[in-house]
Structure 1
Amino acid sequence: MAGGWARDGAEQEQIESTLEDAVQRARSEMPKGESRRHCEECDAVIPEARRKAVPGVRLCIECQSERDRKKTSVSGYNRRGSKDSQLR
């Protein structure tokens, strides 16, 4: 159900495009190559199980968790369309 000048299905195409961009960004940020034995941030030993589970891992779990908390992903799209969401 498109409104105004948008054609039918435009909203779904926008949602799918945004999702695809997020997937591509996440894939590009995945570690590659040989895993490190020690964390590059704190020099803690990275357990062998983690090195096998995440090929190319560079950080220990604690440092990776902290980095993930600091990282924010902001979408430039306002899908709700309400005035309240536009003011945030």
Structure 2
Amino acid sequence: MEKFADELDMAQAHIEREIEMRVDAIQRHANLGLGRAYCLDCGALIPESRRRHVPNAKRCAHCQDRLERDRSPVRRCAA
């Protein structure tokens, strides 16, 4: 039974190290501040200036604006 417990402890330690390594890799990538190269919605190239100023940008400015308008609790009426 003790051998089984040791193997479980070793497996748990391995999983924890793997998670730490993945989190570190994600944080390193996030700290580059370049985000995605292409917009998730329209597939257009996201300008480097936007990726530099908006770390981890996932959408181009146009699609991000549209997403924020759609999610806004305030509905604009047509004038």
TM-score normalised by structure 1 residue count = 0.44
TM-score normalised by structure 2 residue count = 0.49
**Higher RCO structure (Cα 8 Å, ≥6 apart):** 2
Pair member with larger Rg: 2
User: Which structure shows the bigger proportion of residues in helix conformation?
Assistant: 2
